Amino acid sequence: MSKIKIVAATGCPTGIAHTFMAAESLQKAAEKLGVEIKVETHGQVGVENGLTSKEIKEADGVIIAADKDVNAERFVGKPVVDVSVGRGIKEAEKLIQTIIDGKATTYKGSKKSDEAEEEVSEGGSGSVGRAIYKHLMNGVSHMLPFVVGGGVLIAISFLFGIWSADPTHETYNEFAAFLKNTGGLAFGLMVPILAAFIAESIAKRPGMVVGFIGGVIANDGGAGFLGGIVAGFLAGYIIVLLQKLLQGLPKSLDGLKAIFLYPLLGIFLIGGIMHFVVEPMTAINEGMMDFLAEFQNANPIILGLIVGSMSAFDMGGPVNKAAYLTGTALLSDGNFFFMAGVSAACITPPLVIAFATVFFRKYFNESERNAGLVNFILGSTHITEGAIPFAAKNPIVVIPILMVGSSVSAILSYMFAVGVPAPHGGFLILPVVDKAVLWVVAILIGSLVGAFLYGLSKKRSYAKEQA
């Protein structure tokens, strides 16, 4: 009797560790159970150990252990076990046994279209909530390298001076300008990339094109991170809708659909819809900026609570940007006081995550611990977006905790009367910060408060799971 053959695909949002841990766990379990297995990994460097059509066809079953899109349409008609990447690590033997026992569900996928286009996936075989989460995480995982690379380059440019990238200023440095401009280009693509790969997860290549344009419109219009998420989901499902509407066209026009009709109609529709989405968000942003400017001379506790909560609420989105842009505008008037609280509040969320993964290590998986270490760098260089993957997993709990931590940091910065003359850079700009030591103390206190609250929430969740 020949061995049972299984193929698998693993992937986590960051693509750093969890992806490969699941692959290793499945391989060890297969060896123990006498099953032949090949595992395809979807890490940060891309697809490795890719599955061929022949291997998929010959397989007795498929295991998908992923929290991101792994092109599940390849497995239509095969018995499939579709679970989170965490279960791939913890329950590898159980997953394989499900296939051995013939209890896996046959994957139906979405209705196939032509060969000239990529098939459209409507979320795979999981629940609606998990499908939405996977689409979102696909966008976040592709966005992060742009955030990290671009944000750190911008921060480094401030080491040469606050105005060193301004050709009209006496401190102008050509290399600093190069760093800031290059980093700005990468960082500026964050929202379009996020939207593009949310849409790509829903509708493959046609969705990616429409999602990117929707993200650009959101970014340019001031809708920010939240606008990018909206654009990504809208773009993906616009393509799903177009596929259904155009499925009656003659087969000879399949190529025309993929290369012409989907991009043309999709971009037109996303442009029209985003026009109505962006304008209200922009008006809200301007209103929030005016509101904040009126509070700049208020009680430091009230001001810090408002600025901290706004900065951590959507971490790079329109609410965060309203606080940030208000601080930037006030800098031009010589007000360095307001930006101190804004910067402290923006630096805090990644540090909350980082400290929590250190002090409450037991309650985070290996992938989260690795991402936590990266957040030390991101937080120190004023890249708030590093906390997004953690917040996205449990926003109802995590976002309020981050808001508390950021508020404490902002309140203390205002109480210490710190002055921050640069709009970005994190701890790299400490040489130009007035009362730099007190500013760092304020940020660390806020970060530690948030970290212990977050760690305790993880501990409580862990206790419930073990009960």
Do 308 and 454 have their domain in common? yes
Task: Evaluate whether residue 287 is within a structural domain.
Answer: no
Strand partners, 39: 8
- For the ranges 44-48, 55-59, 124-128, 287-291, the maximum mean pLDDT occurs at 55-59
pLDDT in tens, 292-310: 667 666 788 988 998 899 8
Q: For the ranges 22-26, 239-243, 370-374, 444-448, which has the lowest average pLDDT?
A: 370-374
Residue written as token pair 């402290």: 344
Asked whether 251 and 114 are in contact (CB, 8 A), the reply is yes
Q: State residue 273's pLDDT score.
A: 95
> 326 and 457 in one domain?
yes
Which tens digits make up the pLDDT trace of 189-226? 988 999 999 999 898 888 999 999 999 999 888 777 77
CATH code for the domain in which residue 11 is found: 3.40.50.2300
* Residue 155 sits in the same domain as residue 36: no
Pair 76, 158 in one domain: no
Q: How many domains are contained in the chain? A: 3
pLDDT for 50 equals 92
pLDDT at 39 over 60: yes
| Segment 181-185 mean pLDDT | 90
What sign has the CA pseudo-torsion 233, 152, 422, 168? negative
Q: How confident is the model at residue 139 (pLDDT cuts 50, 70, 90)?
A: confident
Q: What residues have CB less than 8 Å from 380, skipping those under 6 apart? A: 347, 351, 426, 427, 428
State pLDDT tens for residues 411-467. 999 999 998 877 777 888 888 788 999 999 999 999 999 999 999 999 988 888 776
Mean pLDDT, residues 151-176 taken together: 83
In a domain, 270, yes or no: yes
Let me know whether 272 and 137 are in one domain. Answer: yes
Pair 185, 242: CB distance under 8 Å: no
More confident residue, 270 or 335: 270
93 and 42, same domain (yes or no) = yes
Banded model confidence at residue 148, pLDDT cuts 50, 70, 90:
low
Position with higher pLDDT, 30 vs 394:
30
Question: At a CB cut-off of 8 Å and minimum separation 6, what does 97 contact?
Answer: 33
pLDDT recorded at residue 119: 39
Residues 97 and 175 placed together within one structural domain of the fold: no
Instruction: Tell me the torsion sign for CA atoms 154, 160, 161, 164.
Output: negative
Secondary structure of the chain in HEC code, one letter for each residue: CCCCEEEEEEECCCCCCHHHHHHHHHHHHHHHHCCEEEEEEEECCEEECCCCHHHHHHCCEEEEEECCCCCHHHHCCCEEEEECHHHHHHCHHHHHHHHHCCCCEECCCCCCCCCCCCCCCCCCCCCHHHHHHHHHHHHHHHHHHHHHHHHHHHHHHHHHCCCCCCCCCCCCCHHHHHHHHHHHHHHHCHHHHHHHHHHHHHHHHHHHHHHHHHHHHHHHHCCHHHHHHHHHHHHHHHHHHHHHHHCCCCHHHHHHHHHHHHHHHHHHHHHHHHHHHHHHHHHHHHHHHHHHHHCCCCCHHHHHHHHHHHHHHCCCCHHHHHHHHHHHHHHCCCCCHHHHHHHHHHHHHHHHHHHHHHHCHHHCCHHHHHHHHHHHHHHHCCCHHHHHHHHHHCHHHHHHHHHHHHHHHHHHHHHCCCECCCCCCHHHHHHHCECHHHHHHHHHHHHHHHHHHHHHHHHHHHHHHHC
Are residues 300 and 231 part of one domain?
A: no
Task: Show which of 91, 106, 121 is a domain's final residue.
Answer: 106
Structural domain for 255, as ranges: 130-277
Strand order across the beta sheet in which 46-48 lies: 46-48, 36-43, 5-11, 61-66, 79-83, 105-106
Q: Do 54 and 138 belong together in one domain?
A: no
Pick from 251, 277, 303: which residue ends a domain? 277
Q: Is residue 46 part of a domain?
A: yes
Same domain for 339 and 299? yes
Cα–Cα distances (Å) from 385 to 31, 181, 190, 198, in that order, read 40, 20, 10, 17
Lowest-pLDDT range, 6-15, 118-127, 418-427? 118-127
Of all residues in the chain, the percent with pLDDT exceeding 90 is: 42
CA 455 to chain centre: 21
52 & 177 share domain:
no
Residue at a domain's end among 277, 305, 339: 277
Share of the chain above pLDDT 70, in %: 88
Based on the fold, state whether residues 364 and 265 are members of the same structural domain.
Answer: no
pLDDT in the model for residue 110: 55
Is the C-alpha dihedral spanning 126, 128, 129, 133 positive or negative?
positive
- What is residue 407's predicted lDDT score, i.e. its pLDDT? 96
Q: Is 111 part of a structural domain of the chain? A: no
| Confidence grade of residue 115 (pLDDT, cut at 50, 70, 90) | very low
* pTM of this prediction exceeds 0.85: no
More confident: 199 or 322:
199
| Residue 321 belongs to a domain | yes
Question: Band of the pLDDT at 329, cuts 50, 70, 90?
Answer: low
Instruction: Compute the distance between CA of residue 159 and CA of residue 6 in angstroms, rounded to an integer.
Output: 53
Mean pLDDT of all residues in 351-358: 95
Report the DSSP beta bridge partners of residue 65: 10, 83
Residues known to be catalytic: 12
pLDDT digits 0-9 by tens, 358-393: 999 988 887 788 888 889 988 898 888 788 878 878
Token readout for 289 is: 């900026």
Residue 70 included in any domain: yes
**pLDDT (0 to 100) of residue 295:** 67
On whether residue 338 sits in a domain, the answer given is yes
Does residue 114 or residue 96 have the better pLDDT?
Answer: 96
